[in-house]
Amino acid sequence: MTTYGSFPGTRPRRLRSNPVMRRMVAETRLHPADLILPAFVREGVSEPVPIGAMPGVVQHTRDSLKKAAAEAVAAGISGIMLFGVPEESKKDALGTPGTDPDGILQVALRDVRSEVGDDLLVMSDLCLDETIDHGHCGVLDDQGRVDNDATLERYAEMAQVQADAGAHVVGPSGMMDGQIGVVRDALDQIGREDVAILAYTAKYASAFYGPFREAVGSSLKGDRKTYQQDPANVRESMRELALDLEEGADMVMVKPAGPYLDILARVADAVDVPVAAYQISGEYSMIEAAAEKGWIDRDRAIMESLTGIRRAGARSILTYWATEVAQQLRDQ
């Protein structure tokens, strides 16, 4: 006699039975257009300079940066975020290379725009840390503290020269109070209402920035805990979010991404503007290092980490794997 109604009648495993089934029911998908490539360009070098703490990432020459931008377009990603690394001798207490029209970042912006036009969003880091001799994100007062309002004046100048150099999007990343409003006003004053602002809304004082310090040749001694956010706090991020939106942010971002997926989800649920997340240098380097040791499957770990960021609510992801991953997605 046949017995029916065997337990369990509901079997979720049916929807995991083969690759086509899993693909059909997937709730979260990565697409090349979700990705933005952070890229470093270094003044005064004739060949790309490998970054020891970030295997596979380099400080570009002007020519190799243009090639990387063209590859990004071919891969279908949406943007490239540029960081300029000036010659050490040009750094000073005001971060002068950041407002010099011939500073390396402004030169690189013009190079990339001439190479890709509007086929790729050309984005610029708007911060002083790469250009200033003490490595902080702002100018210092006479007691050695980061002077918020004096720094805002420098950010306003930076925004204008970056817009003039061709930036579609500026990314104020220094976590100064009022930075979004000042940058928006500075851009509007020169008739650049078209330039968008990607606000680094929740930028935490993280240990995972370590490899980035090598990438930009940072001179920082100490930490940035007086202006970047405390990793223990959540409500603080939501307050920063409200302020950035009130000041005119077009997009908002959480940085780092992986250790702060809860913050990312809270931000994504709260707003109706695009939300980005930055998978930072330490996140990149940990996966690369573990894969080099043979401890994890590199490609699977990359995709899993990016899917988690996307699932948490990021519309756009800044990742050093952007072009590589986009190429893989297009080949699937």
Q: According to the annotation, is 153 in a ligand binding site?
A: no
Mean pLDDT, to the nearest integer, of 218-232?
Answer: 79
Is the distance from CB of 157 to CB of 187 less than 8 angstroms? no
Reported as a pLDDT band with limits 50, 70 and 90, residue 249 is very high
Distance CA 151, CA 297 (A): 44
Phi-psi label, residue 117: left if phi above 0, alpha if psi -120 to 50, beta otherwise = left
Is the distance from CB of 80 to CB of 169 less than 8 angstroms? no
Can you state the angle between helices 148-165 and 179-189, rounded to 10 degrees?
Answer: 40
> Full-prediction pTM beyond 0.85?
yes
Q: Which residues are known to be catalytic?
A: 203, 255
Mean pLDDT, to the nearest integer, of 166-189?
Answer: 96
Q: According to the annotation, is 27 in a ligand binding site?
A: no
Q: In this structure, how many other beta carbons lie within 10 angstroms of the beta carbon of residue 193?
A: 9
Report whether the peptide linkage leading into residue 8 is cis, meaning its omega lies within 30 degrees of zero.
Answer: yes
Q: Which residue has the tokens 């495993």?
A: 13
Which pLDDT score is estimated for 105? 97
Distance CA 216, CA 206 (A): 17
Q: According to the annotation, is 213 in a ligand binding site?
A: yes
Tell me: the pLDDT tens digits for 29-66? 999 999 999 999 999 999 999 999 999 999 999 999 99
Q: According to the annotation, is 240 in a ligand binding site?
A: yes
CATH architecture of 29-331: Alpha-Beta Barrel (3.20)
Q: Give every CB contact of residue 309 below 8 A, 6+ residues apart in sequence.
A: 257, 258, 261, 264, 277, 279, 317
Mean pLDDT, to the nearest integer, of 131-145?
Answer: 84
Q: According to the annotation, is 78 in a ligand binding site?
A: no
Which pLDDT score is estimated for 153? 96
Nearest 5°: CA angle at 123, between 101 and 259?
A: 130
Average pLDDT score over the chain: 93
Tell me: the pLDDT tens digits for 263-304? 999 999 999 999 999 999 999 999 999 999 999 999 999 999
Distance CA 255, CA 127 (A): 15
Which pLDDT score is estimated for 222? 65
Nearest 5°: CA angle at 80, between 263 and 48?
A: 120
Tell me: the pLDDT tens digits for 310-320? 999 999 999 99
